[in-house]
Amino acid sequence: MAGNAAQEIASGYATEGAAVELGAVVVDGSVDAAAAVRIPLATMNRHGLVAGATGTGKTKTLQLLAEQLSDAGVPVLLADVKGDLSGLSAPGEGGDKVAARAAEVGDDWRPAAFPVQFLSLGTGGRGVPIRATVTGFGPLLLAKVLGLNATQESTLGLIFHWADERGLALLDIKDLRSMIQYLTSDEGKAELKGIGGVSAASAGVILRALSNLEARGGDEFFGEPELAVADLLRQVDDRGVVNLLELDDVQADPVLYSTFLMWLLAELFEELPEAGDLDRPKLVFFFDEAHLLFSDASKAFLERIEQTVKLIRSKAVGVFFCTQLPTDLPNAVLSQLGARVQHAIRAFTPDDQKALARTVKTYPTTEHYELDEALTSLGIGEAIVTVLSETGAPTPVAWTRLRAPRSLMGAIGEDAVRVAAASSDLHGKYQQTVDRESAYELLAKKIAVAPETPEKPEVPEKSKASGFLEKAMDNPAVRSFFRSAASALGREITRGLFGNRRR
């Protein structure tokens, strides 16, 4: 009976086109090697979820998916939260356990290495640094990073709006700080007449938040050269490059890291053309530690996440969220996910029990498993799976014993990562920070050449501390600076769905 049931379940996973092989069906504790569970490549732009408690095998599942996508010519963006996915670049090591797993699931396992591009957010990591300009990042995402409330977020939006109208590129944090100081000066207040103003209280909060961000190392992430998303869509010998983003210190600033990933996704949405239905995605984006993105997010922020997830599949980009519980994601996002790979849930507390009950309700009905029991009984490297078939219908629920990755299941070492990053063709493009003239530097230059003004009475010390920008506003050359800056830095800036810069 178990064999018949396994074959019945597996029939829902039959495909005519290319597919990612996950493993084999388990029924009543028995594995049927001939009952294959797979995800059609053509449906992987319909997004997915990889979830499960710590230690249940999520990381190895991500590794398995990334390997097969690469072999199919599909580039991958994968966050390395634990620091142990660098083994994708080296062939795996066989052994009795790997051989036994391969025999169970019908896999002709062979060791293999895959083309990996090591990346780091900012300049402090081991990989090739990727950056965003403050202008490119935009006010909505930056407000999330800074922890601003709705009023302060509105103020930051007004500051960006004023700079955008004049084509002023805010490349790094010192540019934004200078802009805020200017717009709270007497001269700046006049510039904002008719569209509102920047209150001293809100400006003070934003400036303090920027200082805190710098103290946490956040200034390393903002500047030039800014990442070109085309560099995430590369192939080597017809295999997709696995862009491995170093995030092993994510807990140092989880909001910054998760929001930066959202910026990357927003950039992909804005830059890529409409693709229609393809036989495979152009890129699959794995969003690890996804709960960090939704934690304490404003309503506007959540709405834009939902819109991006809904619309980006038309650009042939698949997004897989990775987290411990499906309930970490808002229902509106969860409903957009076509593939579900759910590892074991640990239901020790009343809250865990509620999360388990809610998770069970999100699956199609099945006569073969008691899902509440199954989800707490899964072994390491096993998962409850349902995906979209090639016709777009949900597949039967399958208790699946997953294949073993073919690359090294562990890290290759920090020195090896640094060597690989330094030998990359992207190293020369992104390694060196470029600090070209922008708002801060151009203003400083104007001040340096400004004509002398009549000597003024000494001002109180508190006024002196407000910054060189406000002190300089009496110089005619400085007052004309922002009015003429647009011709020096470019035309008016427009913004996309997530507030990131579009020209």
Domain encompassing residue 309: 2-131+224-430
d(C-alpha 84, C-alpha 79), whole Å: 10
Cα 484–chain centre separation: 37
Contacts of 157 (CB under 8 A, 6+ apart): 139, 140, 143, 499
The phi, psi pair for 224, rounded to 5°, reads: -120, 155
- Same domain, yes or no, for 246 and 111? yes
| Element (DSSP H or E) covering residue 501 | strand 501-502
pLDDT in tens, 246-293: 876 655 677 888 888 889 988 999 999 999 789 999 999 998 888 888
Q: Collapsing DSSP states into helix, strand and coil, what is residue 310?
A: helix
Is residue 259 a contact partner of residue 94, using CB atoms and an 8 Å limit? no
Is residue 386 a contact partner of residue 341, using CB atoms and an 8 Å limit? no
Q: Indicate the pairing of strand 398-402 with strand 382-386.
A: antiparallel
C-alpha radius of gyration, the chain, whole number:
26
- Same domain, yes or no, for 22 and 66? yes
Output DSSP code: residue 218. Answer: G
Short-list 137, 151, 158, 294, CA closest to 219: 137
Is residue 180 a contact partner of residue 198, using CB atoms and an 8 Å limit? yes
Is residue 54 a contact partner of residue 325, using CB atoms and an 8 Å limit? no
- Same domain, yes or no, for 393 and 281? yes
Point out the residues of the chain with pLDDT beneath 70: 1-3, 193-196, 248-252, 437-492, 497-498, 501-503
Please give the structure tokens belonging to residue 151. 């009023």
- Same domain, yes or no, for 322 and 377? yes
Domain at 326, CATH number: 3.40.50.300
- 373, 396, 430 — which closes off a domain? 430
> From start to end of 343-456, where are the E strands?
382-386, 398-402
pLDDT in tens, 55-97: 999 999 999 999 999 999 999 999 888 788 999 999 999 999 9
How much is the pLDDT for 430?
A: 95
Short-list 469, 457, 484, CA closest to 186: 469
Please give the structure tokens belonging to residue 71. 């072999």
- 398, 430, 462 — which closes off a domain? 430
- Same domain, yes or no, for 212 and 260? no
- Same domain, yes or no, for 198 and 296? no
CB atoms within 10 A of CB 113: 16
Is residue 418 packed enough to be buried (19+ CB in 10 Å), middle (13-18) or exposed (0-12)? Answer: middle
- 396, 430, 464 — which closes off a domain? 430
Q: Is the peptide bond before 225 cis (omega within 30 degrees of 0)?
A: yes
- Same domain, yes or no, for 235 and 94? yes
How much is the pLDDT for 458?
A: 45
- Same domain, yes or no, for 118 and 148? no
Is residue 258 a contact partner of residue 492, using CB atoms and an 8 Å limit? no
- Same domain, yes or no, for 166 and 260? no
- Same domain, yes or no, for 262 and 332? yes
Residue-wise DSSP of 20-82: EEEEEEEETTEEEEEEEEEEEGGGGGG-EEEE--TTSSHHHHHHHHHHHHHHTT--EEEEESS
How much is the pLDDT for 502?
A: 62
- Same domain, yes or no, for 263 and 333? yes
Strand partners, 287: 321
CB atoms within 10 A of CB 252: 11
- Same domain, yes or no, for 374 and 260? yes
Domain tally, the chain: 2
How much is the pLDDT for 464?
A: 41
Q: Following CA atoms 338, 341, 342, 343 in sequence, which dihedral angle do they give, to the nearest 10 degrees?
A: -170
How much is the pLDDT for 442?
A: 54
Is residue 172 packed enough to be buried (19+ CB in 10 Å), middle (13-18) or exposed (0-12)? Answer: buried
